[in-house]
Chains A and B, each alone.
Chain A
Amino acid sequence: MSPRDTTPQGDFFRGVWKENPVLIQMLGLCPALAVTNTVENSLWMGLATFFVLTGSSFIVSLVKKLIPGEVRIPTFILIIATFVTVADMSLEAIVPTVHKQLGAFVALIVVNCMILSRQEAFASKRPLGRSMLDAFGSGLGFMIALIMMGAVREVLGQGTLMNFRVIPGHFEPWVIFILPPGGFLTLGFWLLFLNWWQKLRRERARVRAWPDGVAAPVEGRAA
């Protein structure tokens, strides 16, 4: 689909699910694996990234005609780094305990390729409103993916969800889920589940489209 074919709804929902930065595009995996050991950490990292992405898209889309193509990437990075610094200092002032937990990964948002890719592929080419919808969608999709990771890891690794105990006390938490390998395992399980689910949906849709007695075309061949 060419950029001109998109609709406002499409710009928003594309990043939320269809092209989810983490679960589909596999971008921004560093924070997705490193800081999603609790839902609270995931939420704050998601909010910080959302802030940086929407702020950067706003500025880039606003001043895109003033930026010569030759220096667009350095300028985008400068804009992103500014918002990351603002987010870093603001988190430390507002939620110091969470900032301590997130450690260096707030500062590392600057190298999240999901953010730079949205500036290069969308915000620098589209009107302000569409750019903001795209940023809202991608930021929300990133946050949802992080929370999905955090929920599984916190429940299995600590027996709690949002710091409330949800598994009886005699359950011995699987510590591996709050360690870095647990991030890889959780992401793998989520991708496995989501791919299986999407395949199931496609097959059901195909069965509906081809009623009994009519052979459906084999996937991958021309109908």
Chain B
Amino acid sequence: MTAPVQLEGRHEVKTSKLLTTLGAAGALAGFLIVFVYAWSQPIIQAYKAEQLRLAVQEVLGGPDHFDTLYVYDGALRKELPADVDGAGLEQIFLGYTAEGERVGFAVAYGEPGFQDIVRVIFGYDRGTEALLGMKVLESKETPGLGDKIEKDSSFVNQFSGVLTPLVGVKARESSGDPHEIDMITGATISSRVVIRIINDQIERLGPLMDAYTGQVARADTGGVR
């Protein structure tokens, strides 16, 4: 049932016409958006996967290949039960040399920074408890200040070889301790976020890494090069 809409000084417009107009416009808009979504999503997902693969290679110092491990049921698993979809599970990566020796784990995680979520990936050798490298995957920190956590090579390079747990110190107060990271002047919050993410994740995932005794991956058994 449609009631006419009466506006002063205007002719009558049936409610059904208004609904039809907006309904048709919405349907056409939806169709166009779905069409573009179907075209763009595979490209976007492929780009993100490639960026993650490159980041894993970078923070692990160029391993021969690596495995993707899922955090499932309180443990790291290379393979999941048939009824579990790995897409929604947290993933970490385990790199290997060509001889099958473990290089280290790569962990990606994000936490709120100064402006928005800062998401980093770091490589970690559980045996020596040293970091292998760090890369910022996502950040909207202040240009020229906070964004130095990804653009300032002198800050980023410190994360290669430093021992964990990390200790952030002001640049002029460094004592040479192998756990120390010189924070960026003017971007203390952003620097601390990176350090906190790494320390927290190692504390959380360290026992799982120790417990993981998965078979050494070979390139022909699922390892990603």
Contacts of B13 in A (CB 8 A): 68-70
Any B CB within 8 A of the CB of A213: no
**CB-CB under 8 A for A179 and B21, given A89-B36, A89-B37:** no
User: A89 near B142 (CB under 8 angstroms)?
Assistant: no
Contacts of A90 in B (CB 8 A): 36, 40
User: A85 near B21 (CB under 8 angstroms)?
Assistant: no
User: B18 near A79 (CB under 8 angstroms)?
Assistant: no
User: A75 near B25 (CB under 8 angstroms)?
Assistant: yes
Instruction: Pick the contact of A70: B18, B25, B143 (CB < 8 A).
Output: B18
Interface residues on B, range: 20 to 34
User: B29 near A82 (CB under 8 angstroms)?
Assistant: yes
Instruction: Pick the contact of A86: B26, B36, B142, B144 (CB < 8 A).
Output: B36
**Docked CA distance A75–B143 (Å):** 38
Contacts of B47 in A (CB 8 A): 93, 96
Any B CB within 8 A of the CB of A178: yes
Question: What string of 1s and 0s marks CB contacts (under 8 Å) between B138-155 and chain A?
Answer: 101011110000000000
Question: What string of 1s and 0s marks CB contacts (under 8 Å) between A33-76 and chain B?
Answer: 00001000000000000000000000000000011111100110
- Chain A residues bordering chain B, tally (CB within 8 A): 27
**Docked CA distance A212–B144 (Å):** 56
Any A CB within 8 A of the CB of B53: no
User: B29 near A178 (CB under 8 angstroms)?
Assistant: no
Least Cβ distance of A14 to chain B in Å? 28
Any A CB within 8 A of the CB of B80: no
Contacts of A71 in B (CB 8 A): 18, 21-22
Contacts of B54 in A (CB 8 A): none
Contacts of B32 in A (CB 8 A): 82, 86
Contacts of A70 in B (CB 8 A): 5, 7, 10, 13, 18
Any B CB within 8 A of the CB of A103: yes
Least Cβ distance of A112 to chain B in Å? 18
Any B CB within 8 A of the CB of A92: yes
3 A-B pairs with least C-beta separation: A175-B144, A93-B40, A82-B29
